[in-house]
Every structure is written in structure tokens, then in C-alpha cells.
Amino acid sequence: MDRTLRPRQWLKAVYRPGAPLITQIDDGAVLPEAPVSSDAFTSSISCARVVVTMLRRLEPRPGETLLEIGTGTGYNTALLCHRLGDQAVTSIEVDAGLAATAAHHLKDLGLHPHLVTGDGTEGHAARAPYDHFLPTACVQRVPTARIQQVRAGGRILPLTTPLGTDALLSLTTEAPAAPPAGCSPPSTSCCCAASASVSRGSNWAGPAWPTSTSASTKTNSTSAYHPRRVPLTAL
């Protein structure tokens, strides 16, 4: 669908709550105007329902800082800037082309977060500690370095795929435990290096977590994160 020819229909399509928007295929090898010849989707904007749910669970507040992994088009980054302010947001994108495009989009919106081009696996220690950490790509484990870069009481919200089932986890970091004998300073492999407790949303439908994992349900207003606050036409 060509946005310039059918603008109203285009807007209606992209703002459907359950519609994910694929923004790159096969690392850019398939051009947007070309026929889709691959199912290797390498960048996207999650559907609006997921974006709002993630931000509700994260609960970022003005005055807090946040690290985002996966800038993509810059859409979610723009929402975070609207909530927290530009200088409170750090976002990392591994694809140099996507990173440059996102920077252009955000600049057009008058937003200037701290953007980093590179691998976000180990977070971004230069601006740590953060109040929140938000990866926008699925992971099966959260590296210790990322936990260590979040303040005690801060929140990490990874999308995970345990046992083939998608889930949205809310992790709250805790202060490091006292190092056991022979562990000074704590190492990244030590039990005292960092820790996180898990809460899961009410919509969890996957396999049960271990009995040692605590569960809680949180509900909050979504008004501060309405996707229309940042127009997709700009992204």
C-alpha cells in the first residue's frame, strides 16, 4: 500500500492494535518496494498493543533513565523520549543503516536521545547505572552485565521465548548480596554479582515457572503511551 496514494487507508492499517509492522527484510537485501522473496524479517515495529503493554509494565517516569536495545526505526525510542525526556534515553542499534535512519527520523521530530551504533549484548556501561532496561528483541537470557547496569529496584523488561512460547517478563533488580568468602570483588559469574526477581503479567499462557519464582500482576493507565502521540508518518 502506497502511503502517498492512500493516506487514510495506510494510517488505518498501521494503527491496527494487533498489526506488527515489518520494516526490514533480510538485513535490507529486500527493498521496501520489491516483492517479498524472504521471510527473514530483521527489523520491525511491534504491534501497538505490545508496545503499549511493554511500556505499561515498565512504568518509566519523568526523571528516570532508560537503556533501550534495538532502536529500529526509532518509534519506540520516540515514545520513551516523550515520556522521560531526550537526555534520559540511551538506545543501541546494531545495524548501522537502521541506526542512521532512526537518527534522521528522531531529529525530524525534534528529539535527540543518546544513540549508539553497536552490539547491545553487554549493554552500555558508559551511561550506567540506568533506572530501566528495555530490549525490543526476543532473548532467552539476560546477560549479567545488563543487570549490573540497572540500579537496585530498577526494572528490566525482556521479551523471551522459553520453550517456544512468547512471554513478556518484568524483572526487578535487587541490591547485590554480600560476597561470600574468597569473592572480592564480586565477579560476573558469582551469585553476589547481581540478581533479579521476576513478576509475570496476568496474560501469561506459557509453561509454569519454577516454584522459587514469585509472581505478581500490575495494571496501570496506558494514556501516557498512546501510539498516536508520535506519528508513524514521521517514522
Give catalytic residues, as residue numbers: 46
Residue with cell 543503516: 97
Question: What is 137-170 written as a DSSP string?
Answer: S-BS---HHHHHTEEEEEEE--EE-GGG--EEEE
- Cα(12)–Cα(31) distance, integer angstroms: 23
Residue with cell 500482576: 217
Question: Which secondary structure element, helix H or strand E, spans residue 42, and what is its range?
Answer: strand 41-45
Return the axis-axis angle of helices 96-108 and 75-84, rounded to nearest 10°.
50
- Cα(111)–Cα(45) distance, integer angstroms: 18
